[in-house]
Structures are given as C-alpha cells and as structure tokens.
Structure 1
Amino acid sequence: MTGRDSGAPLAPIGNSPVVILVRPQLAENVGSVARAMANGGLFHLRLVAPRDGWPQERAWRSASGADRILEEATVHPDVDDAVADLHHVFATCPRPRHVVKPVLTARGGAAELRAICGRDLRAGILFGPERAGLDTEDMARADALIRYPLNPGFSSLNLAQAVMVMGYEWWVAADDTPPRTLMTNETHVATKGELENFMGHLIRELDACGFLRNLPKRPGMVRNLRHFFQRGEVTEQELRTLHGVVTELALGRRLRGRDERQG
C-alpha cells in the first residue's frame, strides 16, 4: 500500500515505546522511519546526534504525511540523554559483539514491550546508524537486544525497514484481526437454509434430466454434491447465480424436448 492514509488519526494510542535513532545519517531515512512508525502505531521519535543536524526538510518529503512525528521529534547529544527518563531500553542488533544480554526476536521484544507499557512504564528501542549499526557502548545502555530471525545469508535491512519490522510486531501483538476472513462485499455467506433450497432445486432438475437415473448410485451422487457445496463458504450471490444456471439448463432441456416433439 502506498500513499497517505488520511482515514487513521496520526496520534499516540496509549503508552507506546520511543523509537531512538542513534546518529542517523540521512534525513530521507528519518522521514521513512516516521512513516514506518505511524504504520505500526509508534509515535515518539528521538534523534541522537543526527549527522546533518535537525530539522531537515528532506525528511518531511519522505514521511508521506507522518509530519507530526517529525515535528515532535527531540534531539539528544548522546544515548544517555535520550534514555534518561525511560525505565526499559531495548537495542536492535544484527550482530551481537561479545555482549552478554538477553536476545529477543522482534515478536518476543514486542510482547515484552506490550507488558512493560501496560504497567505504565516507559520503554525505548535503539536503532543504530545506517552504515555500521549500534556500537558496544550503545548496546551497554540496553536491558536486552532484539535480533530479527532473517535469512542468515542476507539479513541486511535499511533503517526504515528495521523500524517497520518492530512497528509491525508491536501492532499485531495487540491486534485482534482474524488471520483469515472472506470478503463478501454486498452479499453474505449463505445460510444452511439457503444452501438446502438450492440443493433441492439442483436435485429436482438432475432427476428430471435423468442424471440421477442410476438408483443404486443416486444417494452417493447426491452426497457428493452436498459435500462439494458444503466444503466452502458459498455466498448468497453465488447461489443466486447457480440457481439461474440450473434454471436455464432446465429450460434449454425442455425447449429441446418440445422441438423434438414438434419435429
């Protein structure tokens, strides 16, 4: 999906983690991070010693409407200052370097962040510079590390992608969207009564045309037809179409029979 979604309010929803970009290098990346944050319901951004200073107009051009996040972003001279008011800090780290700390997946980290924020404690996630990531001193400020389980042969992410993964996991950790739905638009899934009405119509016409003339096999053939239509969530609109098909087939059969008799 691209473009700005004006239907969703760009405002914090409850207590959410702070995204902390440590020494970001490109303003365009900061803007893309803001967009990813808004997608995942993360609205607090802090910048630690941005290379080109702040604000930078180029960031707004790549934020796709996530302006409020950029406008309210704060700038800090170092990591200590950026995390001073937080209770828990996690650090994303693709390659832990001789650090003894708990290592979480993005999903595990999001679950722990939900629990922390649910206790009205403030949490933050450190993301390192585009070129080299967080250094050992940065990671020393974190309670735990977050490492994404990606293809070990190619696990490189840009800054906005890294934030997007974390934002997505943060959002779905509290989301109740069912994993599978059926889009029915203006129609609805057919009830058993509607389905049985169609089956009666179909079987009557199959009897009339002789398709079910083999009486020993008839019950099994009817069951097979029932299994076919009961297997999926047939919609009311689809049943109307099938009714029309059966009616036209029956009409065609009757017309052919009349023509044959007249001939």
Structure 2
Amino acid sequence: MAGTDKQQDMLAEGPAIILVEPQLGENIGMVARAMANFGLAELRLVSPRDGWPNEKARAAASRADHVIDATVMFDSLSEAVADLNFVLATTARPRDNFKPVRGPEEAAADLRARFGGGQKTGILFGRERWGLTNDEISLADEIVTFPVNPAFASLNIAQAVLLMSYEWMKTGERAVRPPEEELVPASKRHIDSLMIYLDRVLDERGYFRTDDKKPKMMDNLRALFTRPGFTVEELAVLRGVFASLEKFSPKRPRGSGAPDAG
C-alpha cells in the first residue's frame, strides 16, 4: 500500500522483536518492513546464519532503513533478553510447560500496559523451519499462540511478526484508521424546517385526505424523521429529493390522497 503524501512522524517504540537464528536475509528484511508498518523499531538477531549486516535484508525491507540500521546482533538468546523485564515467546504448537498462554490480542494489550509502566519488553520468534526450542521458550515469561488452522499451523517468520506488530499497533492511540467524516447531528430546528416544508407540499398535492387525520399523519412523519437520528447533511439530501419531486409533480385537489391511492 502506498504511503500518504503528507509527512508523518515515524512511530518507533514498543517491544523488541527478537529473531532466533534466522536464515534468509530476505526474511529479516520482510520482518523489518512489518515492524515499520506497525510502529516497532527495535530488531535483535541471535546468530543469523548469514551474518550481519546483510544487503538482501535491506533490499527486502522496502525502505524500513531505520529498523535495519538499528538492528543489533547477539551470540546467544540469553544475551539478547538480558536487559528486558518481560518476554513473550511465540509458538504455534502446544508445549509441556507451566507458562501462561495468551492469544495475540490479549498479549499485545498486556505489552502495551507494561510499556506504559516503563518496562522493557520483547517478543521471541524462532527459526523459519522449526521455531523455538523448549530451552529457548524457558527464557520467556509467557507464551503467545496464534489461532491458526490446526492442519496448517506453520507461519513464516515475517507473517508471525506482522500479526504481533498489528496487534501491538491496535492498542495504541496513534494508529492510522479509516477517516471518519464529521457529520453534524440535525437539531430540532432542522427537523421543524423539514416538517413545515412537507406540510406545505403534501397539502398542495392532496396527500391528506381529511383535515382531522392530518395532525396524526404529520406526527407519524415527524417520528419517522426523528427516530433514525438524521444528520444535517442527510436532511439536506432528503430536502433536495422532495424539492425535485415537488418541481415535477402536479398539484392535486385537497383530499385526493396520495398519488397512488385509489
């Protein structure tokens, strides 16, 4: 998706993303791009197979250079998490341990709360082919598991990072959301103006069969236009439609009823 022309402040906060023994530089680059999309910027690599830096990673990052440039490499996972207060480990498979297991949405909300409290947090992602070992998971505080098809549970590393990054971004206040048009709720004055107009044009076209039924019919019309909570803009559209009908509809004798009444 193309970015907007308006310059926006770059979001760069939140948990560290920690990749354990990633293989392809392209995968690391796609992880960096996913992080940048959703406001994360701290990428840590544990013993990447092809070393670091990696030009293939930069090319695949699609201009997420701030993530690539700040990436730090570690020789062991214990070193990569040493300064963190809280760590999540991602896995698609059930594990035999006593760690709490959360879904992505709940886990991201907890990370946001910890971030707000000043804690340093991180999320572990395993190898492309077989994920994290039990010993590596033991270094985490909790597990996050994605709700995936049990018959096809394998996610590539960039997909997994994208999912967690997206859930992280949802918990923030600065996420880019679809713009909502600011519509002004109609006041009683606007409703009254429409009702006066309808009273006149309907009367001119013989809509009210008898004078004694007119008050009740007008009450029903007022209830119709009041119940949905119309906006000023919506009433203006209706007024334009009615005005068009008024222009091309002949006047009818009083009491002749609606045009389709027989």
TM over 0.5: yes
Secondary structure of the structure 1 residue equivalent to 2:249: helix
The aligned runs of 1:18-57 (5 Å cut-off) are: 18-57=16-55
Assess if the C-alpha contact under 8 Å between 1:207 and 1:213 holds in 2: no
Mapped to 2, the partners of 1:127 and 1:5 lie a distance apart of 31
Identity rate, percent = 42
Q: Which residue of 1 aligns with 2:206?
A: 210
Q: Which residue of 2 aligns with 1:141?
A: 139
Assess if the C-alpha contact under 8 Å between 1:31 and 1:60 holds in 2: yes
State the AA in 2 paired with 1:9.
D
Aligned length: 251
Residue 198 in structure 1 maps to residue 197 in structure 2: no
RMSD: 2.9
Note closer, same or farther for the CA distance 1:183–1:154 as it changes in structure 2 (3 Å cut).
farther
Shift of 1:50: 1.4
Gaps of 5+ in 1: 258-263
Q: Which residue of 2 aligns with 1:261?
A: none
Secondary structure of the structure 2 residue equivalent to 1:120: coil
Assess if the C-alpha contact under 8 Å between 2:91 and 2:144 holds in 1: yes
Give the alignment's TM-score, normalised by structure 2. Answer: 0.82
Shift of 1:78: 1.8
Secondary structure of the structure 2 residue equivalent to 1:110: helix
Residue 3 in structure 1 maps to residue 32 in structure 2: no
The aligned runs of 1:54-203 (5 Å cut-off) are: 54-175=52-173, 182-184=180-182, 188-203=184-199
Mapped to 1, the partners of 2:216 and 2:137 lie a distance apart of 68
Mapped to 2, the partners of 1:91 and 1:255 lie a distance apart of 75
Gaps of 5+ in 2: 254-262
Secondary structure of the structure 2 residue equivalent to 1:65: coil
Note closer, same or farther for the CA distance 1:234–1:35 as it changes in structure 2 (3 Å cut).
farther
Assess if the C-alpha contact under 8 Å between 1:17 and 1:42 holds in 2: yes
Assess if the C-alpha contact under 8 Å between 1:109 and 1:146 holds in 2: yes
Shift of 1:79: 0.8
Shift of 1:189: 4.2
Shift of 1:92: 0.7
Shift of 1:97: 2.7
Shift of 1:231: 4.4
Shift of 1:63: 2.3
Mapped to 1, the partners of 2:180 and 2:211 lie a distance apart of 38
Secondary structure of the structure 2 residue equivalent to 1:207: helix
Mapped to 2, the partners of 1:221 and 1:163 lie a distance apart of 61
Note closer, same or farther for the CA distance 1:53–1:100 as it changes in structure 2 (3 Å cut).
same
Give the alignment's TM-score, normalised by structure 1. Answer: 0.81
- Displaced runs of 4 or more, over 4 A: 179-182, 214-221, 254-257
Mapped to 2, the partners of 1:212 and 1:35 lie a distance apart of 66
Mapped to 1, the partners of 2:144 and 2:187 lie a distance apart of 48
State the AA in 2 paired with 1:127.
F
